[in-house]
Chains A and B, each alone.
Chain A
Amino acid sequence: MDNTRRKFLKIAGAAALAGIGAPALVKLNSTAAFASSEPAAGHGSAAGGHGEVVAATGVRLGMVVDMRKFAETPEMLDAAIAACYKVHNIPHFPDRKNEIKWIWKAPYANVFPEQEVLHKSEMAKSKPFAVLCNHCDNPSCVKACPTKATFVQPENGIVAMDFHRCIGCRFCMAACPYGARSFNWQDPRPFITSYNPDFPTRMRGVVEKCNFCGERLALGLEPACVEACQGSGAMVFGDLNDPDSEIRKVLDKEFTIQRNPAAGTRPSVYYIV
């Protein structure tokens, strides 16, 4: 009797240990995948990080924000924000704690807290930075969402939302390391200044964020914020996997940084500072 129980406990213990140990082993063996940059590295099986298989080919949309241009013409950033608000029926709540943000301004210290240094450039010290959802390659918001209301579009890598399905649990907001998501604490409609009849509004209890203008891309248009920058190059949008795309040319030429690379989400938005 005793003997068999002993055996059982031993086997159970060993199995439990193996269970706990296994994921750790996998993690240690896979290459660190912090830099989302190269399609080969970013999407390759080795860099999948958490066992996800992402196609090495295909369209992967991304953006470069050239802060030098925005520092030169700050009105352009206001125009970009206004354009996004207008096409997406985004409300303006008077109280900042209810604020709905798709693209917004934030100081360098909040955008790149891990790169905070004592002697910053003039731009980093004084200019507002453009911030939006990073449409991460390895989005933590998608993993957190229990309803699949937030998901990656396999066709282009956009981290999209299906507002119909969102139950407002806000797990995604807790999971996003960039604060790129906002919750509608109250009915947004009274706070929308003008309606775009081609886009819905949201209702109370739903989360929203930048959608990389999926509905405009389908019509062959650029994202509204990019369009508002009028080809100035302040915002460059395109396919990160296409070596001949405009965005890749910019990325090849300029040194760029990304928000919180240590979070491992592999953002698709790059900054030139």
Chain B
Amino acid sequence: MYNKGTIIPGLVIFIVFVTFPLWYNGLNAGTVPKPDLPIGQKECVAPAAEMRDNHMKLLNEWRDAVLREDDRVMVKVGGKEYRKGLQMACMQCHNDKEKFCDSCHTYAAVQPTCWDCHLTPKEAASKKETH
């Protein structure tokens, strides 16, 4: 191999550099987030494991069903009916976006755009209708 002297140290530096975040955090992924679960509501539209993996897909399906397929059939959870929708279903139980959604999204460094338009329960309450 030509230039062994440069290539090998170069590779080592590269690998160290790329894996730097791991070393820097002491090979520790940090404390696993614990989203605040709703009190008094045990059921969700799907089992927790499935919701954890696929809630974003479900939201997209709901969006298309409601807006495009004229399918606004309600979903039933724990004997109560909800209209399909982030504000109208999910946030009725998970009523604290900061302590529920954000806890994992911040940890996983994902920035969903939902809240650009959808109102968090806190935001909605900030400008309540005045009669």
Contacts and interface: CB of A to CB of B under 8 A. Distances in A.
Nearest to B86: A200
Given A164-B63, A198-B88, A200-B117, A156 B130 contact: no
Contacts, number: 52
A242 to B, nearest CB: 17
Interface in B103-120: 116-119
Interface string A15-56: 000000000000000000000000000000000000000000
B118 A200 contact: yes
Given A194-B129, A201-B117, A203-B117, A155 B123 contact: no
Nearest to A156: B70
Interface centre among B72, B124, B128, B130, by most chain A C-beta atoms within 10 angstroms, is B124
Given A151-B68, A156-B70, A162-B68, A195 B123 contact: yes
A126 interface: no
A257 to B, nearest CB: 30
B124 A200 contact: no
Interface in B75-106: 83, 87-88
A151 B116 CA distance: 22
Interface in B38-97: 63, 67-68, 70, 72, 83, 87-88
Given A160-B67, A164-B63, A197 B117 contact: no
A163 B67 CA distance: 10
A163 B86 CA distance: 14
B127 interface: yes
B68 A192 contact: no
B117 A192 contact: no
Given A163-B117, A197-B87, A86 B129 contact: yes
A155 B129 contact: no
Interface centre among B67, B70, B128, B130, by most chain A C-beta atoms within 10 angstroms, is B67
A160 B64 CA distance: 12
Given A89-B119, A196-B129, A197-B87, 15 more contacts: A86-B129, A151-B68, A164-B63, A189-B123, A192-B127, A194-B128, A194-B130, A195-B127, A195-B129, A198-B87, A199-B87, A201-B119, A202-B117, A206-B117, A218-B83
Interface of A: 86, 89, 151, 153, 155-156, 160, 162-164, 189, 192-203, 206, 218
**Pairs of residues from A and B, 6 with the lowest C-beta to C-beta distance, nearest first:** A197-B124, A203-B116, A218-B72, A155-B70, A200-B117, A194-B129
